[in-house]
Amino acid sequence: MSGYYHQEDLGRFADVGKNAPELWKRFAAWYEAVFAEGALSEREKSLIALAVAHAVQCPYCIDAYTQSCLEKGSNLEQMTEAVHVASAIRGGASLVHGLQMRNSAEKVSM
């Protein structure tokens, strides 16, 4: 095995349902409903998914939602901004914990 992630595995996602078909069926139906056009357009949902894919750093999701964003008509400017949004939240989430650090330091300091 050359590594943990293989591009072709993305096409085999449904294999995960083999030992829990009912759970897979429910997940698949829910997933499809989530990405259907609603209050948000399919294009907006794909951009959110792309941003989240970067936040959770899932290579399968990044691959899938890069394609999906292009297929929904987004361009690289919009997709790059979405990645920056995810990165800003990740960076901000780390930085805001600086307050925990400050609180801890203040508690033990004179």
Partner 1 sequence: MSLVSLHHPLSSSAEQLRVLDESARAHKPFARALADSGLFPLRATGIRVFQINVGKLCNQTCRHCHVDAGPDRPEIMTRETAELCMAALARTDIPAVDITGGAPELNPNFRWLVERSRELGRHVIDRCNLTVLLLPSQSGLAEFLARHEVEVICSLPYFLGEQTDAQRGAGVFERSIDALRLLNGLGYGRADSGLRLNLVYNPVGAFLPPAQHAVEADFKRELGRRYGIEFHSLYTITNMPISRFLEFLLRTGNYDRYMEKLANAYNPAAAAGVMCRYMLSIGWDGALYDCDFNQMLGLSISGGAHIRDFRPELLAERRIVTGEHCYGCTAGSGSSCGGTTA
Binding site for partner 1 (CB under 8 A): 11, 41-43, 67, 70-73, 75-77
Helices (H), the chain: 21-35, 42-55, 59-71, 76-96, 98-108
Q: Which is nearer to partner 1, 44 or 90 (CB)?
A: 44
Q: Give whichever of 73 and 92 is closer to partner 1, judged by the CB atom.
A: 73
The least distance separating partner 1 from the CB of residue 41, rounded to whole angstroms, comes to 6
Exposed, middle or buried: residue 103 (CB in 10 Å: 0-12, 13-18, 19+)?
exposed
Q: State the nearest-atom distance from the C-beta of 73 to partner 1, in Å.
A: 4
Rounded CA-CA distance 21/39 in Å is 30
Q: What's the CA gap between 41 and 28, in Å, rounded?
A: 19
Q: How far is the CB of 75 from partner 1 (least distance, A)?
A: 6
